[in-house]
Structure 1
């Protein structure tokens, strides 16, 4: 008889937290387990993920360095914790895993109060604020990088190098060859700036591409994600330069576009890097300077040191510098293919599987299929409306 366990996955409302949580959820459900997601309003609205799991929205409470946020932040955390305990009472999870972000904190605190085993997963090369606060109390810490800054050495015995879980569609790209590229073939460039694009990429990339030698520029095919306020300006710029470009504010099919790309220009978010290294795609990366603890700069080190990417600080990200870096990678014979192999060597394609293995080993007291406590269909519940 197969054993079905119940797992609660708690994640902040950005793609960087939600996508790895989704990948782990898919793996757990494929093994016959039941999964519930705890997130905020933003996370619940991300399209195409968690459509087969229960989704619960609850207040998280954001505590910043400003004293004015402390009282409201603590109130939000306590309210979310109380509501998460109500979820635990009904769902009876065997483990709760936090993927970072403020919505993860109430769920993890509730699990600790109820004696439920807890795990945290850190996607970045710098331990995030919520994970730092709870690292000493959880049963296991899963990391995406061999070296994680701000992770105390005393926790080494419970650290597991897992990698950053990616969607199955991205994992499948690992079995495909790097797209054929000759001196005459189309040169496909994918530009992505996170879940909402990046204005700096919209400003610099078109001009940088226009500075490439004619022999390379005439072969370009650009696919670029832009903010809504930038897209018409960027479209006009590419038209004036006679560079074919497919622009959108959001791409539902990033794995497909990644599959046929020869070069990616992007921010350095954890999920982006995980997908690049899993698929084996060379990149020019521009870390977001305002990222918490400058974690995107830390994220790129492994891929850059391996030779799979080049990193340009935003302060030096000019059209001239971009054109120079693209020429170094695209004109030298075999350079892009070699960078693709080096990027691929950094990938950890089995991260979702390994994370599920870890959760199964941590979560004890398995629950046999229980129709009373498992919703028969996916449900999105706003726990903010449930009395604590």
Structure 2
């Protein structure tokens, strides 16, 4: 019965997420799925998170204080005070909203809501998008009812908690997931070689510096067929355009592409960072990649994110300190000089995908917090189940009365 529920059965859920797209986008995807199943959903975040585009219109956002816990004693005291204020505000919200479960997606803005849920004895679930358990989720993991992960192997996750870990994957946008059934674009000796380059929401200067020169070093059989789409920082745009023009490589550049899903659909090779959402989309669609993990990512989690995909043969990872034009050209040749090699890498990436992530996460969340009667309705197939539940409750009430 995954993804379906009888009409008229509605619960309330609170989703708590930090103020970055990596935390917020999975929360938005889960909200859409829960609302589709007939539930009411509210968001708890900070001021930055409330401004991230993509929030479903039906989901109200509640902005709570959420301090960070630094090592400086003064900053630590301020952070704790903000978290405590946020916890108190979350308790008041829960008192009126009466959630069946509170779901955290990491980041400090999620902490007050999860602490409040624990104090109010409301069931809790956390979702970890990366292959390293984040700091807030690391603190919460022993205290929550269930831990949903995007990877089967997650660093910094205590093995003692394995009993409540569920590998569900990382939800991706519907328009990207729809591409999973589409074949890998034709790639042969006489076709275009379409390369998509992005560096996250703001682009990455290292990609602007290295990729044009690396592509120019490819053998003529590949270089003369190139068609590049690259996202750049605004300050890098003209310099990158001039560099591609100097190499006589056709390239479409921009600071943001609204139709990123269609560009991913056309791409034969992706070059970019290794954020959780990027990996989830590459594996959902099945696109080979050369990944350059962000070196300053907390706990080096982007490098860990590449691990499964690289082992499977769907990607190559290059550390930023070794990301040179020569190394990039070498890795592209290894993957693309023979058409079948690139197609095999695409298939390996596709096999790493977890396309049911959002429905599996929703199933997990729905499993917590329902009253016994609600659970009967949720799994029942007919009105007879409801009648049986009512009769059971009546018998229990009569038995208790006789005992008194």
Is residue 268 from structure 1 mapped to residue 268 from structure 2 by the alignment? no
| 2:239 counterpart of 1:244 | no
- More off after superposition, 97-106 vs 84-93: 84-93
Give the equivalent residue in structure 2 for 1:194. 200
Asked if residue 334 in structure 1 is aligned to residue 345 in structure 2, the reply is no
| More displaced stretch, 119-128 vs 54-63 | 54-63
Stretch deviating more after TM superposition (167-176 or 78-87): 78-87
Range with greater deviation from structure 2 (310-319 or 163-172): 163-172
- TM superposition score normalised by structure 2: 0.88
Q: What's the secondary structure of 2:321's corresponding residue? A: helix
The CA deviation string for residues 326-359 of structure 1, in whole angstroms up to 9 with x for no partner, is 1111112311110000001111000100000000
Q: Secondary structure at the match of 1:136?
A: helix
Within the alignment, does 1:176 sit opposite 2:218 as a pair?
Answer: no
Equivalent position to 2:318, from 312, 327, 344: 312
Partner Cα distance (1:293, 1:211) in 2: 34
Partner of 1:100: 106
* 1:56-135 pair list within 5 angstroms: 56-135=62-141
Instruction: Report how many residues are paired.
Output: 368
Equivalent residues of 1:6, 1:367 under 8 A apart: no
Contact kept in structure 2, 1:4 and 1:367, CA below 8 Å: no
Runs of 4+ in 1 over 3 A off after TM superposition: 65-68, 365-368
**Partner of 1:268: helix, strand, or coil?**
coil
Kept in 2, the 8 Å contact 1:3–1:366? The answer is: no
Work out the CA distance in 2 between the residues paired with 1:130 and 1:163: 19
Do the aligned residues in 2 keep the contact of 1:224 with 1:247 (CA within 8 Å)? Answer: yes
CA contact (8 A) 2:291 2:306 kept: yes
Which position in structure 1 is the counterpart of 2:330? 324
Q: Which has the higher contact order (CA 8 A, sep 6+)?
A: 1
CA deviation after TM superposition for structure 1 residue 367, in Å: 11
**In structure 1, what is the equivalent of residue 231 of structure 2?**
225
Question: Under a length normalisation based on structure 1, what TM-score does the superposition of the two structures give?
Answer: 0.91
1:377 aligned partner: none
Distance 1:107 1:164 in 2: 21
Q: Deviations over 1:182-227 (max 9, x none)?
A: 2222211111111211111111111111111223222211111112
Structural RMSD (CA): 1.6
Q: Which 10-residue stretch deviates more, 68-77 or 278-287?
A: 68-77
Cα distance in 1 for residues equivalent to 2:188 and 2:162? 47
Larger radius of gyration: 2
- Which residue among 148, 154, 158 is the counterpart of 1:148? 154
Check if 1:350 corresponds to 2:356. yes
Answer 1 or 2: which has greater helix percent. Answer: 2
Contact (CA 8 Å) 2:131, 2:305: kept in 1 or not?
yes
Q: Distance in 2 between matches of 1:80 and 1:252?
A: 35
Segments of structure 1 that go 5 or more residues without pairing to the other structure are 369-388
The separation in 1 between residues aligned to 2:204 and 2:61, in whole angstroms, is 29
CA distance 1:9–1:198, shift in 2 (3 Å): same
- Return the offset for 1:110: 1.4
2:37 counterpart residue number: 31
Measure, in 2, the Cα distance between the counterparts of 1:316 and 1:339: 22
1:145 Cα shift? Answer: 0.9
| CA gap 1:236/1:268 in 2 versus in 1, 3 angstroms | same
> Structure 1 residues 128 and 7 mapped into 2: Cα distance closer, same or farther (>3 Å)?
same
Q: Secondary structure at the match of 1:50?
A: coil
Identify the residue that residue 13 of structure 2 maps to in structure 1. 7
Query: Which stretch shifts more, 45-54 or 79-88?
Result: 45-54
Which residues of structure 2 form unaligned runs of 5+?
A: 1-6, 375-404
Counterpart in the other structure of 1:282:
288
Q: CA deviation at 1:68?
A: 3.9
